[in-house]
Structure 1
Amino acid sequence: MDRFIRIFNIVLGCIIISFGLNYFVLPNQLVIIGSDGLACLFSYIFTSNVYINMFILNVIILLFSLIFIDKQTIKLYIVPAVLIPIISYLTSFISKSYPIQLPEMMVSILVASFLIGIGYSFIFKAGYKASVIFIVEDIFSSLTNIHSKSYSFVIDIFNVILTVIFISLNVGLYSLIMIIIIRYLIIKAEFGINDYKMFYVITDKEKEVRDYIVNDLHYKLTTLDVTGGYSKKSSKILLSVISSNDYYRLKEGIKLIDNHAFIAIVDTYDCINRKIVDNYEKD
């Protein structure tokens, strides 16, 4: 049953993305995120088949990534990379047979962004990764041990600049707005809609981790004394509530300090009376 739900989610996600692409992105010569956006741009400039462009670029990026990252990570990208261009091609006849004309370009951008963002959220629910371009982040992370969303965003900015040069300034700005909205929806789908994350950390390098959280990230924390249920070994848990924007900085920073640290991350819907944490820390 779980397998069926995963397949259903990823197929549904690809179908929703294809509707956003075929109905609103391609007719308006807009550019979306990553390699798919670059494929769209190539189709506008060279009048080539956008779906073939998407498929070829995705395959090239996947093959190139084999040099730097493990196959297990790449597997998470393969299914969406193959299905999105294929399903978009197979459903393209629907938009040709039943076109939709919206009164304003801004409305088209919002609808397209919403559809593509929701489509990617279904792909995340299925346990896969969204756009192949995010594999660039995994490549740079493996080379630098620093995880940052800016790596793939640079490529999106590059796509927008090319759109301004080869299409028009207005289309480039519209595409930038759409990319920002889609990325926002993808991040919310991947990390949840909550503004805060609660971290529980058990580490052998307590002082270093504490200094990193307090001095580098400027968050407060408290220490909890715990006893192992099986080993009966006494230990300490570092507890900190952080902004979702610093999720990667904290997680990857702790892993750099202590690669064997235990880290549990919980969504937090609200954070009230954060000064209480200071009081616990001083006790």
Structure 2
Amino acid sequence: MNRVYLQQIRNILMIAAAAFIYAMGISLFLDPNNLAPGGMTGIAVILNRLSGIETGTLYFLLNVPIVLLGIWKFGWRFIIKTVYAIVLTSFFTNLLAGYDALTDDPLLAALAGGVLIAVGIGMVFKAGATTGGMDIIIKIIRQKYRHLKTGFLFQSTDMLIVAASGFIFRDLNIALYALIAVLVNGRAMDYVLYGGDEAKMIYIITAKPCEVGRRLLKELDVGITYLQGKGGWTGQEKEVIFCVVRKQLGPRVEEIVKEEDSSAFMIITSASEIYGEGYKDFFAETL
């Protein structure tokens, strides 16, 4: 069986498992304890209390206009796995909502829910998809306002949603527990994806450097550099793509390269410190 075909089947199954794990974090831990963990999930939890509509259904409805916007901006190829992930997450969230919460301790719920969501999102990223919602919105914002950092945008939206939950539920403690869930989620996701490494340096030697480079620029909005290389055995001149990406984008880079050139040669290594646009400011760090 074709290796690419097997990889697609693996991705489909991984997304299904990820959606179930993600839904467990929501329906069995966070939602029953009134914890809104940021993102579209947090908004869905808040709206559930205001409207009575199931959280999973709200999660799906909130994502519909965002997905349509993503299709218009990036095309079906980028978004189709994300649609699949959203549909399954909504379904499993509603399915598991019929079961009792596994704990009524908000601290334990924040810790367990944050970890489960991180595992789910990490698996979705590894399968070459996203969870929709804020991922797509922030990608669009970054295309227009490149000076705004991705991490800052995610943190800002999460903080606003957590603050809104405290106001609507009229309980500061609930908001603080939700904040714990957000922080745990971010830290746990680091380890799910790459063991907590800061970023990844990737060298790509491919027969299709233009096609791969074009997709990396368009779909991931990452900077790339073309290096001139020469095969030591063949003496053949070739271009080498070099890029540095945030940890969560690493699996998607691998996916794009495999789709364009299954025989490409890739070297992926960890980078603990990176200075420059989009990362640390060298001068600020040394002051």
* TM > 0.5 fold call: yes
2:107 counterpart letter in structure 1 = M
Deviations, residues 78-127 of structure 1 (Å, cap 9, x unaligned): 1111110111112333x23xx4235x422221111111111222222322
Give the Å deviation of 1:172.
Answer: 0.8
Q: Residue 177 in 1 paired to residue 201 in 2?
A: no
1:20 aligned to which of 25, 43, 62: 25
Q: How does 1:212-251 map to 2 (within 5 A)?
A: 226-228=229-231, 232-233=236-237
CA 1:75–1:231 in 2, change beyond 3 Å: closer, same or farther? farther
Q: How does 1:95-244 map to 2 (within 5 A)?
A: 95-96=99-100, 99-101=101-103, 104-145=105-146, 148-167=150-169, 168-190=171-193, 193-195=196-198, 197-198=200-201, 200=203, 226-228=229-231, 232-233=236-237
SS of the residue 2:269 aligns to: strand
1:134 counterpart letter in structure 2 = D
1:80 aligned to which of 82, 85, 105: 85
Does structure 1 conserve the Cα–Cα contact (< 8 Å) formed by 2:36 and 2:178?
yes
Structure 2 unpaired stretches of 5+: 1-5, 206-226, 254-265, 274-287
SS of the residue 2:73 aligns to: coil
Distance 1:166 1:108 in 2: 20
Give the Å deviation of 1:191.
Answer: 5.0
Q: Residue 10 in 1 paired to residue 4 in 2?
A: no
2:73 aligned to which of 39, 61, 68: 68
Distance 1:22 1:13 in 2: 14
Distance 1:134 1:58 in 2: 11
SS of the residue 1:31 aligns to: coil
Does structure 2 conserve the Cα–Cα contact (< 8 Å) formed by 1:69 and 1:142?
no
Q: Residue 55 in 1 paired to residue 60 in 2?
A: yes
Does structure 2 conserve the Cα–Cα contact (< 8 Å) formed by 1:14 and 1:84?
yes
Q: How does 1:83-94 map to 2 (within 5 A)?
A: 83-93=88-98
CA 1:235–1:123 in 2, change beyond 3 Å: closer, same or farther? closer
SS of the residue 1:109 aligns to: helix
Task: List structure 1 segments (4+ residues) > 6 angstroms apart after TM superposition.
Answer: 234-238, 242-245
Distance 2:239 2:15 in 1: 42
CA 1:196–1:65 in 2, change beyond 3 Å: closer, same or farther? closer
Give the Å deviation of 1:155.
Answer: 1.8
Does structure 2 conserve the Cα–Cα contact (< 8 Å) formed by 1:30 and 1:174?
yes
- TM-score, structure 2 normalization: 0.66
SS of the residue 1:267 aligns to: strand
- TM-score, structure 1 normalization: 0.67
SS of the residue 1:120 aligns to: helix
CA 1:233–1:244 in 2, change beyond 3 Å: closer, same or farther? same
Does structure 1 conserve the Cα–Cα contact (< 8 Å) formed by 2:42 and 2:162?
no
Give the number of aligned pairs: 230
Distance 2:80 2:190 in 1: 20
Does structure 2 conserve the Cα–Cα contact (< 8 Å) formed by 1:195 and 1:268?
yes
Does structure 1 conserve the Cα–Cα contact (< 8 Å) formed by 2:24 and 2:93?
yes
Does structure 2 conserve the Cα–Cα contact (< 8 Å) formed by 1:194 and 1:244?
no
Distance 1:190 1:141 in 2: 22
SS of the residue 2:35 aligns to: coil
Does structure 1 conserve the Cα–Cα contact (< 8 Å) formed by 2:55 and 2:93?
no
